[in-house]
Structure 1
Amino acid sequence: MLQDVNAFVTGASQGIGREIAITLADYGANVALAARSDGVYETADEIDTKALPLTVDVTDESSVIEGIEETVDAFGGLDCLINNAGIAGPTAPIEEVTAEEWDRTMAVNVRGMFLTTKHAANHLRNSDRGRVVNISSISGKRPLRNRTPYTASKMAVIGLTRTLAVEFGNDDVTVNAVCPGATKGPRIEAVIDAQADDLGIEYEQAKRQVFTDDSALGSLVEPNDVAEVVAFLASGRAQTITAQDINVDGGTAWY
């Protein structure tokens, strides 16, 4: 499905990003693994020969430029950009959120996508199978108590996706967003812990009350479910799907 596609995946050191990178490689893609942490090398070990681990800070423009240039030099081009890098940001009412916390959340979750897309753009336009997949969240579509920076950043990703789809359309580059629900992994565990502390309840109660009770399936999302949707959108099978924000959330957000 992705034989010889050259992909650049941000936030590939853990969680959804790692799962996406491994899934793309399993379908035949060459995958550049971009992240700040050494976890990219662990991900590369799982993928083996199709992986290019890179230390990249998506908030640093020079780091992004260097990472994309290394990818193009190694693979001979760039066909697919997966913008997955993100942080959860603070869990607090708006009056307790610091300007630094707000700025950091926006820098990673929004500015990072701007920078990677900006510097990948010409390569994607020159590809005959250009794809961009941005990882947003259903929290960009519905309220999430005491998570203003995160929810605002994820709504921004949806707006970015729709506008980029129009900008890239004449070059047959598709741009879509995937909106996961609460997905199993260390990040959601930390968020649930913070919500439990804020509400004064136990972890399992917070998980049900905040994340699973209002979903059709009543469960957290598996990372591989997200990765499979990303792989489909990155493939030739999705060549006429663009400007969409697709939920993978067990039936939580219905639009």
Structure 2
Amino acid sequence: MIRSVEGLIFALDETATHDGPGLRMTVYFKGCPLRCIWCHSPESVSPKPEVVWYQTRCVRCGRCVEVCPEGLRSFEPVDPRDRSGCRLCGICVEECPSGALEIKGKLVSAGEIADHAMQLIPFFRRSGGGVTLTGGEPTFQADFAYAVLALCRQAGIHTAIETCGYAPWEKLERLASVTDLFLFDLKHPDDEMHRRYTGVSNRLILENLARLIESGAELVVRVPLIPGCNDSPSTVKATGLKALELGA
């Protein structure tokens, strides 16, 4: 049953305004195939739950090390990022006096997400909003993404996906059947530079972008401008020309 399909998320925002039209409920998926050097959500990269350390909150008291039942230790000064062997019991999170530790990654069902979204339908209708899946990378959990979007579509909720486009075409094609809007990130037009900054080639990404455009999918190309990486006038121009070349 589609409602029972499960996936791993690390956050949910009921009042997002930059992830599609109107007021959005944005769902943040765990797992991403890219390794962007500027990643603003590093807690999204791993496809598994993990303990996240907020360095600016840490008071270096060492309490997390003291209470760990696995006897995990780290170099001095105490650094909670050294968590090899962690079984995610959550004791260190509960005992941290400054809130510097959190477990990121919660298993939820598509039905739970859809039910949450349906409570917000009056706000969506008034603002022209809906539900957006982002990450991480939603196609990394394509079956879960499809289930969430299909249920939202059935409820008359506008659906959107923010994607890097690095996925087998079959996944994107299936998701397109339940997606009203793709927010497609184009990070760099040059393959060598794309590899340097994200860890992967842009060839599959450009192929998928061209295919989505050809299929008639509603799509917005978005470019994250990163100082020193893709913000030079020549690169910005090349990015725009590449998008036009592909039919955007």
TM-score of the two chains, using structure 2 as the length reference = 0.36
TM-score (norm. length: structure 1) = 0.35
Structure number with the higher helix fraction is: 1
